[in-house]
Amino acid sequence: MAINCQQSIPLPSPRRRSSIQSSPIIYLITLLKSHVEDIMTIEITSDADLPKCLNTPSKQTTQARRLAHLHSGIAAKKARGPRPQGFFSRTAIVTLQNGEDVVIQFRPEPLDLEPFQVARRVLGAVVPDVEVIQNTELECEGIWVYWMTCIPGKTWLDGARGKVSQTRITTVRSLGRILSRGYINDNSELVVNHKLYPHLELLLASEDTQISQFHGIARDLRGQLDQLKHLPLFIAHFDLNDVNIMVDSDCKVSGIVDWELSTPLPFGMGFCRVHTLAGEFSEKKFHMPPEFEDAERGFWQEIWDEIPENVRSQVNPEAVQIAVTLGTLLDAFQLDEGKIGPYNPVVVEALPKFLTYRIPLIRGSGSPPYLE
């Protein structure tokens, strides 16, 4: 893990770091043209992967307290490591003497801050603010440090433990309300041309039988991509799940974390996780709990009711349906360093069902969400 301090450290370029200050579209162009080496690839499988100064939880919290004090000028009272920890970082929540909680995060690669900045500018304080803590000593060990505002509450996984069925509708509806604020631009042409077409072409070129079974629908979707160019461009989270969604004591969403690798997408594509937000995987099978449709319809109702009227007027339900279906397919076969990456066979097994999903605006009030 350690690196030579004489080596060139691959920090994001100043142009990439500052482009969001001028325009999210400039940011998007830059992001779509970025090199694959900017993609986060180094996983932390255990604390032993970290340098000696960080290779135990106690060392991580000690360093976090010290760095929080240096960065804020306020002494730290205590620090704790949340569970579970991420695959790409080690995190400590530090309580300062003034009572404020902040997050210190250690990463084995530089973090591109722009997805966070775009999301925070659009969605507000539900997205953590992120700053770099320059620390030459740790950077020489191959570790980059970040300061983040602490989103109140618990992860959805922890906050709803033992009461998921009773609170799912509340959580999913409140998530829809937040995501309805995700407007960035009037059209999605850049993303369609530079991100979605290439991704579909990679799927269609794959000889993997788990992927090739979906070549038919991939070809159909490729033929419909032009319709997505006219949809508004919206914030989309790369990995919307019950660990990255934070909830308050009432299980309403209080924040969304871990925006790295996220890029804006045509309206609807970023909502494709509705299957596993309103439903769940259990024993390697997808299940629709009794409250599924109330949660799923509530999610869409909040989005539809809360988006501004001028944005709503641009939204063609048929194009949104295409976007959700495409998002579902591409989410199952995500890219890793410009190639189709490892995929979850449990998700792939459920994918034929997911691809029959029809949004409420298309199926109406009397039809089930999935076709038989």
101 in the same domain as 67: yes
pLDDT in tens, 333-351: 999 888 999 999 999 999 9
Cβ 77 vs Cβ 224: under 8 Å: no
Q: Which residues contact 198 (CB under 8 A, 6 or more apart)?
A: none
**Residue 250 CB: number of other CB atoms within 10 A?**
12
- Residue 17 scores a pLDDT above 50: no
pLDDT at 261: 87
- Residue 35 scores a pLDDT above 80: no
pLDDT at 30: 56
> CA–CA separation, 111 vs 132, rounded Å?
9
User: In total, how many domains does the chain have?
Assistant: 2
pLDDT in tens, 227-245: 999 999 999 999 999 999 9
- Residue 3 scores a pLDDT above 70: no
330 in the same domain as 239: yes
% residues pLDDT > 90 (the chain): 84
- Residue 135 scores a pLDDT above 90: yes
Q: How many CA atoms lie within 13 A of 335 on its CB side?
A: 19
> CA–CA separation, 171 vs 244, rounded Å?
13
pLDDT at 225: 98
Beta bridge partners, 255, equal: 246
Name the helix (H) or strand (E) containing 185.
Answer: strand 183-185
Q: Is residue 3 part of a domain?
A: no
Q: Which residue among 109, 132, 150 closes a domain?
A: 150
- Residue 267 scores a pLDDT above 50: yes
Which range marks the domain in which residue 131 is found?
Answer: 14-150
pLDDT in tens, 279-329: 999 999 999 999 999 999 999 999 999 999 999 998 999 999 999 999 999
> Which pLDDT band holds residue 8 (cuts at 50, 70, 90)?
very low
300 in the same domain as 218: yes
Q: Is residue 100 part of a domain?
A: yes
Region 360-365: mean pLDDT is 96
pTM to 2 decimal places: 0.89
Cβ 145 vs Cβ 106: under 8 Å: yes
340 in the same domain as 214: yes
pLDDT in tens, 185-231: 999 999 999 999 999 999 999 999 999 999 999 999 999 999 999 99
Q: Is residue 2 part of a domain?
A: no
Structure tokens of 76?
A: 């730290």
176 in the same domain as 79: no
121 in the same domain as 164: no
197 in the same domain as 117: no
290 in the same domain as 162: yes
Cβ 321 vs Cβ 358: under 8 Å: yes
| Mean pLDDT over each residue of the chain, to the nearest integer | 90
- Residue 98 scores a pLDDT above 50: yes
E strands along the chain, which residues? 76-80, 90-96, 101-107, 130-133, 144-149, 154-155, 183-185, 233-234, 245-247, 253-256, 265-266, 280-282, 285-287, 335-336, 339-340
159 in the same domain as 132: no
What's the sign of the alpha-carbon dihedral 40, 45, 51, 53?
positive
Question: Closest by alpha carbon to 218, among 239, 190, 196, 193?
Answer: 196
pLDDT in tens, 251-263: 999 999 999 889 9
Give me Rg for the CA atoms of the chain. Answer: 21
199 in the same domain as 114: no
Beta bridge partners, 234, equal: 183, 265
- Residue 13 scores a pLDDT above 90: no
Q: Is residue 202 part of a domain?
A: yes
Q: Is residue 248 part of a domain?
A: yes
